[in-house]
Amino acid sequence: MITLAAPVPPATLVLLGVFTLAILAVIYALLSPGRAKLSWQRRRPGATPEPTMLSRGASGLTDVVDTVIGRSGRGDSGAELLEQAGVRRRWQEFVALMIIAMVVAGMLGVLVQGIAVGCLFAACVPVIIRVWLGMKVAARQRAFADQLEDSLQLLSSNLRAGHSILQALNSVAREAEQPTSEEFTRIINQTRVGRPVGDALSDTAARMRSDDFSWVTQAIAINREVGGNLAEVLDAVGGTIRERNQIRRQVKALAAEGKMSAYVLMALPVGIAAFLMVTNRSYLAAFTSNALGYALIGACVVMFAVGGLWLRKVISIKF
């Protein structure tokens, strides 16, 4: 027989509502594009806007984070991760927002269960954000790989029309979809400031982790040294990439069942724990009442992580 948990006090519900609205406001501020406005300098030339209390606090937090990151020397890796994920924010601002999210999640955990749950919620925020960034990086790289065939066709068509390699790359940057257009725009901008085309292409291939695009880079580099018909070379490389994509899609279709099984097995423990926390909180209270319960929770987390890595290894097929 299932017994419902004791009613939550109204003050706790009010605080939960306030924190939920705060989280939604932060998400809206991050994702909302906002309206296009004229800059302050154009509207009032010579005038300097006075910073608000919120802007001063945000600037102070960002400066502190910038100082800490500068001392630790991890700013470059974080900025590179944001570039790979396509997040257009400075790493210092992103870390500041993550700290705010950790504080809000920790306070929610304290209100729901206690200090231990609050610390657990706060510790889960960086993990969730890291997983989210990894998913965005993987999705962006997959999109780039799927668009590469059309990009090569457009590139070879421009070369047949008599355009130079830079003009052809610029045409792909204008007409391709995201993230290909963004990456090719980066290549064009780097070449305009004096960087060699081969180095810019190699950097893009390494950032997108695309073996196919590295072949394209090598073909362009060899053609620039020895000459020849680059359009025909790109057509041959494009045919090879097309065949590889067909095999990759077949492998993806065959592995779909295993991936779905992995998702279900990973979601079952979390879903059952969330259901019990809502319907019968006293059933899970034994895990937070003594040291043995915390040890069992730690063992469950370790086993959950090991099982997740094992399932990921099983369904990850390389060819």
pLDDT of residue 5: 45
Residue pair 96/61 in contact (Cβ under 8 Å)? The answer is yes
CA distances 64 to 35, 78, 99, Å, are 30, 16, 12
**pLDDT tens, residue by residue, 188-224:** 998 888 888 888 888 888 888 888 888 888 888 888 8
Pick the CATH number of 147-254 from 1.20.81.30, 3.40.50.970, 1.10.357.10, 3.40.50.920: 1.20.81.30
Which residues lie closer than 8 Å to 85 by C-beta, 6 or more apart?
133, 136, 137, 140
Q: Which pLDDT does position 65 carry in this prediction? A: 54
* Burial class for 87, CB neighbours closer than 10 Å (0-12, 13-18, 19+): middle
pLDDT tens-digit readout, 51-95: 544 444 545 555 555 565 555 555 566 777 778 777 877 777 777
Yes or no: say if 79 and 66 are a contact pair by the CB < 8 Å rule. no
How many Å apart are CA 311 and CA 248, to the nearest integer? 20
User: Residues 304, 269: contact at Cβ < 8 Å?
Assistant: yes
- Would the CA dihedral through 263, 265, 266, 267 be positive or negative? positive
Residues of the chain short of pLDDT 70, as ranges, are 1-77, 317-319
Sign of CA dihedral 13, 15, 20, 25: positive
Residue-range domain boundaries for the chain: 147-254, 256-319
Cα 261 to Cα 319: distance, rounded to the nearest angstrom? 22
Q: What's the rounded Cα separation, in Å, for the pair 315 and 252? A: 10
Gap between the Cα atoms of 268 and 277, Å rounded: 14
Q: What is the mean pLDDT of the chain?
A: 77
Report CA 1 to chain centroid distance, whole Å: 43
